[in-house]
Chain A
Amino acid sequence: MSGMITIALAGNPNAGKTTIFNNLTGSHQHVGNYPGVTVEKKEGKVRFRDYQITVIDLPGTYSLTAYSPEEVVARNVLLEEDIDIVVNIVDATNIERNLILTTQLMELGAPLVIALNMVDMSLEQGISIDLQLFSQLLGVQVVPVVGRKNTGTTELLEAVVRNFEERTGLPEKYLRYSEDIETQLREIANTLPEELYKNKKRSESLQRWISIKLLENDRDVVKRIEAASQSGIIMEQVKKSRSMLQQKYGQEPEMTIVEGRYAFVRGACREAVSLPAVERVTTTDKIDRFILHRVLGLPVFLVIMWLLFQMTFTLGTPPMEWIDAGITRLGEYLGRLLPDGLLKSLLIDGVIGGVGGVIVFLPNIMFLFLGISFLEATGYMARAAFVTDKMMHVVGLHGKSFIPLILGFGCSIPAIMATRTLENARDRLATILIIPLMSCGARLPVYTLLTAAFFDKKIAGNILFSVYLAGIILAMIMAKLFRTLLLPGQSEPFVMELPAYRLPTLKSVVIQMWIRAWHYLMKAGTVILAASVIIWTLFTFPLYGPHGMPHPDPNSRMEQSYAGKIGRLIEPVIKPLGFDWKTGIALLAGFSAKEVVVSTLGTLYSIEDIESLKEGEENAAASFAERVKEQSGYTPLVAYVLMLFVLLYVPCLATVVIVYRETNSWKWPLFLVLYTLVLAWVISFAVYRTGLLLQIGG
């Protein structure tokens, strides 16, 4: 016998779903989207006996209501796709709450197999489970497994195959509610037109499930029914049933139904599970006494963040330099190979420069995701949110916003990708929109150059600090503004599990890291490549000067390029900030990456230097910074305003693309570009004019 079986893994977050998925499918995974918190699903394949088994990993959920996108996705897969067996992963150390999801899976009518995970931990904690009785009470086969040690995987697959082969004619078992509820369920079921459930798999349980959801006032199902035929009759019955139950039990029917599920689960647990008389103090309790300590909690958090930061940007730097050198060498090699001309320029400056700009961040991204995957898998991430939530809540954000914001000081791209841990779309968007105000590493060269050129060494540190601080303060103000005006509404309730600490397997951490890094490459790479070519075009064309003559030098080429023309065009706009059109060109170039502002200023000013070279030898020895100082004609005030402007104005291209990828629309990246431009202008104008008025730095 041979064939195909499709199974879906369902379970609570932190029940060890990802580990079991990895155990089942190994490296044969189809990368959908982000693991752990994604709305999309992961798929993998495994050959077992004569079967080709497709494993779909559903998002981890506590329930199957319509309140969160994960839950809606999970149940839509279960309802609409051809799932043969649902494998429900249940955490043995936390059976009662895990089984609430199980009861809802039973209601969906899907043939169920329970993988009772972490049975080693539960034994350690003195919890004993009568597997046979447990299995009998639920009417579901229960397989004990230990995901972390990869035990029980074969037994689980065997159970899947056995259930698949024997399922025909199996009675559909479901949990019964109180007689009042059952009566109303029957009343509602009778009004449902047959086309809603007939001729579908498990039609009987589908009819019952729709009735339960209508009685629960589930907004998704209600919406669907309202679009169906006879919706008037159905909804009238639902209204009648709901108000009848409301009167009888003095609460919303959905609460009565949930209580029914809990009663069933408690009953089963009372019979089959015996908890230790005195709960033992677990390792998690001991660690949390220190990690979540009233006084030590915050310092511990800061140290862990510091370590994450150091690992990402210190360990990431050498490989970044290797990649950078490799790209340069490739450019040089191609430079020798190709004849001078447009193609060469396009390949080297446009394509290699653009793609290189993406790949160069890869080491950072990999180290960062290695760290995040590790912290997530151990259970610390939830604690970090717990410790910082108060601060974030003040500006209308969530505790989980804190880590992405910190990461923003390194690079906005991984920081924006890290916002995926935020479940609430509004919280997440607000966080994404303010991340670019955290001054990233690429902006540092700009500050360094300008402070070195225009400020005394004694105050250079303070100048730098004030720029960073300005970013943080503005980010907090903008967050509050966005959350009140643009994205109003409740923030995600902070009802969050603090999972038991676990030492993750190296394999699962590396797989998580790799999936994320790969995503970054694939998703960002293509669009960034296209955009770099556009920027290259702006700086390269027109090829010839006004009289059809080639440009005499790169400086005049830049002046007369489209970019140069745009620089002149925008001059009136930036003039009130103290900037000239050359600064405009540099700022335009900075859109590809902020550190490019420095090199463009360099090109614009050092070339002019050739002429001054003839005048005096000293100029040649002058440092780049001093040249910029002399040639630009900036005052320290203008230099400071330029720093602020670079901090605030449009984030780099890669960031804009990532925002597009993460929000799946051009609306938000465009808004980001617009608001940062306006903010940069307003703040720069205010600082410049105040400075002039008070005669500071003039």
Chain B
Amino acid sequence: METNTLNTISNLHPGEKGRVYRIKGTGPVQRRLVDMGIVPGAVLEMERCAPLGDPLEIKLTGYHLSLRKEEADLVEIIKY
């Protein structure tokens, strides 16, 4: 997979779906993302962004998650 065809969660528009490819970097934030179910292979859908533009809400199988754009940018996805 070429890097330039990858998007991050922030690139998704409401209603668009993607599959998690990789999480950039390591550290507590990355670990938190993984603990909350954002792991390679997970399918997610962009729901909406907050009234003031940030954070974002995404849907994973069975639950909804909110995260800031700065955190969403760490998650590389393959758009469906």
What is the distance, in angstroms, from A337's C-beta to the closest C-beta of chain B?
60
Secondary structure call for the A interface: helix
A window 385-408: CB within 8 A of B: 386-387, 389-391, 393, 399
A residues near B54, Cβ cutoff 8 Å: 389-390, 393
From known contacts A97-B37, A262-B39, A493-B28, infer whether A390 and B67 are also in contact, taking CB-CB under 8 Å. no
The reply to whether B66 and A386 form a contact with Cβ atoms under 8 Å apart is: yes
What band does the interface of chain B fall in when counting residues whose beta carbon is under 8 Å from A?
20 to 34
The residue that B51 contacts in the complex, of A259, A266, A297, A494, with Cβ under 8 A, is A297
Do residues B39 and A495 form an inter-chain contact, with CB atoms below 8 A?
A: no
CB contacts (< 8 Å) of A284 on chain B: these are 64
Say if the beta carbon of A609 comes within 8 Å of chain B. Answer: no
Q: Residues of A contacting B37 with CB < 8 Å?
A: 96-97, 100
Task: Assess whether A255 is interfacial by the CB under 8 Å rule.
Answer: yes
Q: B60 near A97 (CB under 8 angstroms)?
A: yes
Asked whether A244 is an interface residue with its Cβ less than 8 Å from the other chain, the reply is no
Q: Find residues 283-317 in chain A having any chain B CB closer than 8 Å to their own CB.
A: 284, 288, 292-295, 297-298
| CB < 8 Å neighbour of B67 from A96, A387, A494 | A494
| Interface residue B1 (Cβ < 8 Å from any Cβ of A) | no
Partner of B36, one of A382, A497, A500: A497
Q: Interface 1/0s, chain B 1-44, versus A by CB < 8 A? A: 00000000000000000000001001011011111110111000
For A67, what are the chain B residues with a Cβ–Cβ distance below 8 Å? 28, 31-32
A63 interface contact, C-beta 8 A = yes
- Determine if A493 and B62 form an interchain contact, defined as CB atoms under 8 angstroms apart: no
B63–A94 CB distance below 8 A = yes
Contact of A63 among B35, B47, B63, B66 (CB under 8 A): B35
Least Cβ–Cβ distance between A586 and chain B, in angstroms:
42
A contact residues around B73 at 8 Å (CB): none
Instruction: Report chain B residues within 8 Å CB of A197.
Output: none
Q: Which residue of A lies closest to B58 (CB)?
A: A498
* Set of chain B residues within 8 Å of A493, measured between Cβ atoms: 28-29, 32-33, 67-68, 71
Determine whether B65 belongs to the interface, using a CB cutoff of 8 Å to chain A. yes
Within 8 A of B (CB), among A64-123: 65, 67, 93-97, 100
Contacts of A297 in B (CB 8 A): 50-51
Please, which residues of chain B bring their CB within 8 A of the CB of A266? 41
Q: Are A494 and B35 in contact (CB under 8 A)?
A: no
Residues of B within 8 A of A295 (CB): 51
- Given A94-B62, A97-B60, A262-B39, decide whether A386 and B29 contact each other with a Cβ distance below 8 A: no
Q: Give the distance to chain B from A249, nearest Cβ to Cβ, in Å.
A: 11
Q: Is there an interface contact between A494 and B31, defined as CB atoms closer than 8 Å?
A: no
- CB of B39 within 8 A of CB of A389, answer no
Q: Mark B41-80, 1 if CB is under 8 A from A, else 0.
A: 1000001111111110100111111111001000000000
B29 proximity list for chain A (CB < 8 A):
490, 493, 495
CB contact between A494 and one of B49, B53, B66 (< 8 Å): that residue: B66
Provide the residues of chain B in CB contact with A387, threshold 8 Å: 50-52
Contact: A292 with B48, CB < 8 Å? yes
Q: How far is the CB of A256 from chain B (nearest CB, A)?
A: 10
Contact A389 B55 (CB under 8 A): yes
* Residues in A245-265 with C-beta less than 8 Å from chain B: 252, 254-255, 258-259, 262
Residue of A nearest to B38 (CB): A495
Contact residues in A for B71 (Cβ distance below 8 Å) = 493-495
- Bound Cα distance A288, B66 (Å): 13
* Bound-state Cα–Cα, A529 to B29, Å: 44
Cβ distance A349 to chain B, nearest Cβ, rounded Å: 50
Q: Does A514 contact B (CB under 8 A)?
A: no
CB-based contact B67/A292 at 8 Å: no
Q: Contact partner of B39 among A259, A293, A294, A490, CB < 8 A?
A: A259
The reply to whether the CB of A275 lies closer than 8 angstroms to some CB of chain B is yes
Note all chain A residues with C-beta closer than 8 A to B35. 62-63, 65, 100, 258
Q: Are B65 and A298 in contact (CB under 8 A)?
A: no
Assembled-state Cα–Cα distance A67/B53 (Å):
28
CA distance A399 to B68 in the complex (A): 11
The answer on a CB contact under 8 Å between A498 and B66 is yes
Which B residues are CB-close (under 8 A) to A495?
29, 32-33, 36, 65-67, 71
Given A294-B51, A494-B71, the answer on whether A255 and B34 have CB atoms closer than 8 Å is yes
Cβ A275 vs Cβ B61 within 8 A: yes
Q: A399 — which chain B residues lie within 8 A by C-beta? A: 55
Asked if A496 lies at the interface with its beta carbon under 8 angstroms from chain B, I say yes
Q: Which of A262, A275, A500 has the most CB of B within 10 A?
A: A262
- Are B62 and A497 in contact, with the CB atoms below 8 A? no
In the bound assembly, the distance between CA atoms of A46 and B66 in angstroms comes to 38
Task: Let me know if B55 and A497 touch, CB within 8 A.
Answer: no
CB<8 Å pairs between A and B, sample of 6: A62-B35, A67-B31, A259-B39, A262-B39, A495-B29, A500-B63
Report, nearest first, the 3 A-B pairs whose CB atoms are least far apart: A390-B52, A94-B62, A297-B51
Q: Which B residues form the contact surface with A (CB < 8 A)?
A: 23, 26, 28-29, 31-37, 39-41, 47-55, 57, 60-68, 71
Given contacts A94-B63, A493-B28, 19 further A-B contacts (CB under 8 A): A97-B36, A100-B35, A254-B31, A255-B23, A255-B26, A262-B39, A292-B48, A294-B49, A295-B51, A382-B66, A387-B52, A399-B55, A490-B29, A493-B29, A494-B55, A494-B66, A494-B67, A495-B33, A497-B63
| Residues of A near any B CB (own CB < 8 A) | 62-63, 65, 67, 93-97, 100, 252, 254-255, 258-259, 262, 266, 275, 284, 288, 292-295, 297-298, 382, 386-387, 389-391, 393, 399, 490, 493-500
